[in-house]
Amino acid sequence: MSVSDTKVEHLLVIDDNEAIHNDFQKIFAASPAHDDLMALDAELFGEESEPQAPSPSYALSFASQGRQGLQIVQQAKQRGVHFGAAFVDMRMPPGWDGVQTIQRLWEVDPDLQVVICTAFSDHSWNEIARRLGRTDKLLVLKKPFDEIEAVQLATSLCEKRRLLDDHRRSLSELTKTVASQQSKLESAHQNAEVLIDSISSILICLDRDRCVTRWNPHAENTFDIKADDAIGRALPELSIAWSDAAKLESLLRADSSQAPQHDEIQFVDRCGGKRTLDIRISPLCDAASAAMLVVATDVTRQRFIQAQLDQSRRLESVGQLAAGVAHEINTPMQYIGDNVRYVAKTIDRLSQLLDCLPAFVDQSVSDAELIELRHAIDGCDNARKVRTALEQVPDALVDSIDGVEAVSKIVAAMKELSHPGTGKKSQLCINHVLQSTIAVARNEWKYVAEIQTDLDDQLLPIDGLPSELNQAFLNIIINASHAIGERAERHELDKGVISICTRDLGDAVQVTISDNGGGIPAAIRKRVFEPFFTTKDVGKGTGQGLAIAHSVIVQKHRGKLWFDVDDEVGTTFTIQIPRCPQAAAVSESIGAMP
């Protein structure tokens, strides 16, 4: 057994009897000798005993008085040495007795294990316990004692001290680790708080009762409500002038555990201005907690800019269609003018004849004069023309009325297309929107295609944005016209067909717009709804048409827009618009089948 494998345990003996010191020296010096004898026995007789754990080696320190023992413990502690156990005599005149000595030793080393060695019975255990307290660090060994008793006590108490030191050390390390982790956690929490407070969005946490548990500074600034006034109160009960409180209630009551709720909601701020919030409601933790996180962004300026941009796009479309619309208006106005001039000329001729009527009823006019006047009228060319004109005037007036109605229809359609809108949905008839769009775009399609309509007469109104839907349908029809026109230029057909059909799906309205323009090439189908993507020559297309249509149908109306392609034949666009769109997560997919 090597020296490095030997455990050294430190023992302290405090006794005023030098013979006791010698006894302890003999007892605890015997263990290494015993190990040497066992090794010699194995060497001589060739029998190796089973390997045993190395026996501890004891380093003994002796003191004759309590004060001396205290000094030894203090000096050892300064060197980083701890005694496993101390054997203390009860009577050590003229100095401290055993109890006093133990009290001083524990002041220096509270974990020191002590054995009181005494041959007298004048100190009862109760008296000792009263002075030192009842503790597991104290044992009594009656003199005279056996060697085995002393060894067992030393072994047990030193092991106990070792385990206690290990426990203290582990506990200290664990305490440091916990403190370090707590410090990191507090730092992370502070960083998170700083991060949350710096978020430029409204951040509100709600519990299962929809009461506010968190109200960040941006919410304070937006709603002009302090966090202390908001926390603990239900969000709908706060003094916020929501434009549609029912929509907020619907959003809060919806099952956000399945999918986050997303919508826009408006409120009136303290200055009377109407502001728009893009609001998302998500479950905060697990579904069982029912807590929610409300994140809202003020998009008032963005929506204003978007409205201006939409209006600019509509006016751009109007400008692009202006020449064709002017032609469409000029044609009926031309024959209206011709018909009106014809009627005016006829009236002029008729007035000449009417000038003769007084003579026929005037009694002073002779019969000869009347006969002469009748012959003059019969020989007048105007009379014959008047008779013919009177037969044609009704037709001319009917044509003029038709022309006026055609012009009125075109002007009304242009007005609907270019109207900036209010931003609020209203009841509208999809068939009427389509008919207006067809009228406005007539000059785009009439030279290359015929439009066939199959509009459901029983179609009920839906909630929608008229001018935006006009724009969406217009872009799809113009794209179809251009596709057919390209085929016509390649002499693949003489004149194409654009078919427009509407159907009532109960909770939605479906519109299909089909053409025989050859279909969208497979390589670009995934990109047709991307903004600014176009296959047209520079100056002929901006790539915004179908992107705007997708934005209007999917984002603004919570609808669906997709297309089917019949290769080398044509494309069918299908639009589904919910009759009363509910607050729901906006689909981010583009051109996907429903």
Cis peptide before 110 (omega within 30 of 0): no
Positive or negative, the CA dihedral 126, 130, 132, 136 is positive
Question: For the chain, what is the radius of gyration of the CA atoms?
Answer: 53
The answer to whether the CB of 414 falls within 8 A of the CB of 387 is no
Question: Please, which residues have CB within 8 angstroms of residue 515's CB and are 6 or more apart in sequence?
Answer: 449, 480, 481, 483, 484, 496, 497, 498, 499, 570, 571, 572
User: What is the pLDDT confidence band of residue 588, given thresholds at 50, 70 and 90?
Assistant: very low
The answer to whether the CB of 346 falls within 8 A of the CB of 393 is yes
**Does the pLDDT at position 589 exceed 50?**
no
Per-residue pLDDT, averaged over 562-580, amounts to 91
User: What is the pLDDT confidence band of residue 528, given thresholds at 50, 70 and 90?
Assistant: confident
**DSSP 8-class letter at 260:** -
Q: Say what the pLDDT of residue 417 is.
A: 56
CATH homologous superfamily, domain 9-171: Response regulator (3.40.50.2300)
* Distances from the Cα of 216 to the Cα of 195, 260, 279, 292, angstroms: 11, 20, 15, 15
User: What is the pLDDT confidence band of residue 540, given thresholds at 50, 70 and 90?
Assistant: low
Q: Say what the pLDDT of residue 121 is.
A: 62
**What are the pLDDT digits (tens) for 12-71?**
999 999 999 998 998 887 554 455 555 655 666 655 555 555 567 899 999 999 999 999
> Would you tell me which CATH number, out of the four given (3.30.70.920, 3.30.450.20, 1.10.630.10, 3.30.1180.20), belongs to the domain 199-290?
3.30.450.20
User: What is the pLDDT confidence band of residue 594, given thresholds at 50, 70 and 90?
Assistant: very low
CA angle, corner 182, sides to 179 and 188, nearest 5?
145
CA-CA distance, 481 to 444, in Å (whole number)?
Answer: 7
The lowest-confidence range among 67-81, 165-179, 277-291 is: 277-291
Indicate the domain borders of the chain.
Answer: 9-171, 199-290, 306-413, 424-578
**What are the pLDDT digits (tens) for 260-282?**
888 889 999 888 888 999 999 88
- What pTM was estimated for this model as a whole? 0.45
CA-CA distance, 479 to 513, in Å (whole number)?
Answer: 11
CA-CA distance, 141 to 89, in Å (whole number)?
Answer: 10
CA-CA distance, 212 to 216, in Å (whole number)?
Answer: 11
Residue 567 CA neighbour count, 13 Å, CB half: 3
Q: Say what the pLDDT of residue 592 is.
A: 38
Per-residue pLDDT, averaged over 63-90, amounts to 93
CATH homologous superfamily, domain 424-578: Histidine kinase-like ATPase, C-terminal domain (3.30.565.10)
CA-CA distance, 429 to 437, in Å (whole number)?
Answer: 13
From the list 452, 417, 419, the residue with the least C-alpha distance to 437 is: 417
Give yes or no on whether 9-171 and 424-578 have one common fold. no
User: What is the pLDDT confidence band of residue 591, given thresholds at 50, 70 and 90?
Assistant: very low
Coil, strand or helix at 585:
coil
Mean pLDDT of the chain: 80
